[in-house]
Structures are given as C-alpha cells and as structure tokens.
C-alpha cells in the first residue's frame, strides 16, 4: 500500500497534473514536466548514502523519513507561488523518491530476509504495478474537486497520515549493524575488464527508463490530444498498471518465485 501511494504521489503525479498546472499558472510545460526529471536526478544522486543508511540502521527509519520528505516536497509544490519554488519542491520530492521507492524498499527487504527476500520483493513489485491504476483516477478526482494545488496537499496529508504509520507499524525494528569491514587493497580486482559491459548495461537501463518515463508522463496527454477528456484518458490509462502487473506475474511464474541463487557473475 505504501509503495502504491509513494509511486502515485511522485513518479506518476505529473501525468495528471501537468496540464492543469500549465493552464492555471502559464508556466512552460517543459519546465513543469522537467520537475520530474530533476526529482529523478536527485533520487539517483542520493541512492548511495541511502543504501549505506539502510545497511547501517535498517529500512524502517529510512522509509519513514521518505514519507516525511515526500510530504514536504508535495507541500512546497502545492503552495509554490512561482516556477523556481515549484522546481525546488520537485528537488525535495526527489529526496523522498530516492529514500522511498523500489530500490530502498528492496534493500530494506534484503536486509530483513537475506537470500529469502526474492518472494517478498516480487510481491511488492506485483502490487506496486497498480500505482498508476489506483492513483491516476485519484489524482483526477482531486484535481476536479480541489484543483492541482489541493491534489498536492491531499497527497502530502496521505504521506503523513497513511504511509508514515504503515512504515512505522509494518516494518520490523532492527538492531544497528556494525559498519562493513574495509575492503583490502586490490579487493576490487574482480571487476577488472568488466567496465565496458557495465557501461553498456547502464546505457541500456538508462534508455529503457527514458522510454518508460516518457510514456508514463505523456500517456494521458497524448490520449487527450486525440480528443478524449481527462476522465476518458484516465479510464484508458489505468490499463497501464494491469499490463505491468501481468508482465511481472508472467516473469514470476517463469522464474518460479524461489529464492535468489548465486551467480558466478
């Protein structure tokens, strides 16, 4: 539930709110949508320290902090009087994304369950795929009844009143772990000669992320450009979630949903 709300109030937020924001403020659409790009950049930059925090203290405090960061970012965006403040709000929202979306959630599950974490991670990805299905209609409802600013403030309240308690009550407390031992000199030699494959893999993942992000951001806009109203576009757009879940369910069935097996690579 927390992951559905976290994705819906951050990554999938601008898909519904972009046009209402532009119509209300007159801000350039490029800058409005660019806020999400900034948020994703910030979330990537803070991933290493977030990983170290989870390793040292567990996932519970980090995920709880992510709910507060998401609420803060949404509050700034919803109250933004000018475009620069709006952009700053997305930077704050990026901190919450970096601390609270899939990667930190998976790291938290890995710390709790170790090599048995794969079924739990698979379940989270299956249910998390419904984020757009749940939150796009919710966002459209909030925009129609409270405006785009009201929608942001409502999601900020949800982050504090729903997500934060879910993490506080649902995630187990863990004892702090001692810091990992320093890697001896030459300990990274097993990566020699693998730089190029890693660069290629990073490029593939980057291009795939660009495509999926563009689709998720502009899908409703493209449907509306074909003459559909917001409610009709959302009704078709919610099929995006079941499509993701169906693909993940097929992968789970094919992989057997078992434990993680070690690979020589």
Q: Which token pair is 191?
A: 């990566």
Mean pLDDT of 54-78: 94
In a domain, 9, yes or no: yes
Q: What is the pLDDT of residue 259?
A: 43
Q: What is the CATH number of the domain that holds 151?
A: 1.20.1250.20
Above pLDDT 70, what percent of the chain? 87
Determine which of 54-68, 70-84, 215-229 has the lowest per-residue pLDDT on average. Answer: 215-229
HSE of 181, CA atoms in CB hemisphere, 13 A: 4
pTM of the model: 0.80
Q: How confident is the model at residue 242 (pLDDT cuts 50, 70, 90)?
A: confident
DSSP 115: G
* Distance from C-alpha of 91 to C-alpha of 22, rounded to nearest angstrom: 19
In a domain, 65, yes or no: yes
Comparing C-alpha atoms, which of 95, 2, 103, 7 is closest to residue 54? 103
In a domain, 150, yes or no: yes
Tens of pLDDT, residue by residue over 106-160, are 999 988 888 888 888 888 888 888 888 888 889 999 999 999 999 999 999 999 9
In a domain, 49, yes or no: yes
CB burial of residue 37 (10 Å; 0-12, 13-18, 19+): middle
Tens of pLDDT, residue by residue over 182-230, are 555 555 555 566 788 888 988 998 888 888 878 777 787 788 778 887 7
Q: Which token pair is 68?
A: 């507060």
* Distance from C-alpha of 122 to C-alpha of 257, rounded to nearest angstrom: 7
* Distance from C-alpha of 157 to C-alpha of 74, rounded to nearest angstrom: 9
Q: What long-range pairs does 231-237 form, CB within 8 A, spacing at least 24?
A: 231/140, 234/16, 234/136, 234/137, 234/140, 235/137, 237/15, 237/132, 237/136
* Distance from C-alpha of 240 to C-alpha of 229, rounded to nearest angstrom: 18
Q: Are 253 and 263 in contact (CB under 8 A)?
A: no
In a domain, 40, yes or no: yes
Q: What is the pLDDT of residue 211?
A: 85
Task: Give the domain extent around 22.
Answer: 2-176+241-255
In a domain, 139, yes or no: yes
* Distance from C-alpha of 182 to C-alpha of 137, rounded to nearest angstrom: 49
In a domain, 71, yes or no: yes
Q: What is the pLDDT of residue 233?
A: 81
> From residue 231, how far is each of 115, 144, 185 by CA, in Å?
44, 10, 60
Q: What is the pLDDT of residue 15?
A: 87
Predicted confidence (pLDDT) at residue 89 exceeds the cutoff of 90: yes
When divided into structural domains, the chain yields a total of: 1
In a domain, 261, yes or no: no
């Amino acid at each position: 539930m927390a992951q559905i709300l976290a994705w819906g109030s951050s990554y999938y937020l601008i898909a519904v709110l972009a046009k209402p924001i532009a119509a209300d403020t007159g801000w350039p659409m490029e800058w409005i949508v660019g806020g999400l790009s900034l948020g994703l950049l910030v979330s990537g930059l803070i991933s290493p320290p977030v990983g170290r925090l989870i390793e040292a203290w567990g996932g519970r405090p980090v995920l709880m902090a992510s709910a507060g960061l998401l609420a803060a970012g949404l509050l700034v965006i919803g109250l933004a009087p000018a475009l620069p403040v709006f952009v700053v709000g997305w930077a704050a929202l990026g901190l919450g994304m970096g601390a609270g979306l899939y990667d930190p959630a998976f790291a938290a599950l890995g710390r709790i369950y170790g090599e048995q974490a794969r079924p739990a991670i698979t379940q989270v990805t299956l249910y998390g795929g419904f984020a757009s299905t749940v939150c796009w209609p919710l966002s459209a409802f909030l925009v129609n009844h409270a405006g785009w600013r009201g929608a942001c403030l409502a999601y900020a309240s949800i982050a504090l009143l729903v997500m934060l308690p879910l993490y506080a009550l649902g995630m187990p407390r863990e004892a702090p772990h001692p810091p990992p031992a320093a890697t001896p000199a030459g300990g990274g030699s097993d990566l020699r000669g693998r730089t190029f494959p890693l660069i290629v893999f990073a490029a593939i993942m980057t291009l795939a992320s660009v495509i999926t992000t563009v689709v998720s951001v502009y899908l409703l806009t493209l449907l509306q450009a074909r003459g559909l109203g917001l409610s009709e576009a959302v009704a078709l757009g919610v099929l995006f979630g079941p499509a993701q879940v169906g693909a993940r369910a097929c992968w789970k069935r094919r992989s057997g949903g078992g434990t993680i097996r070690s690979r020589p690579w």
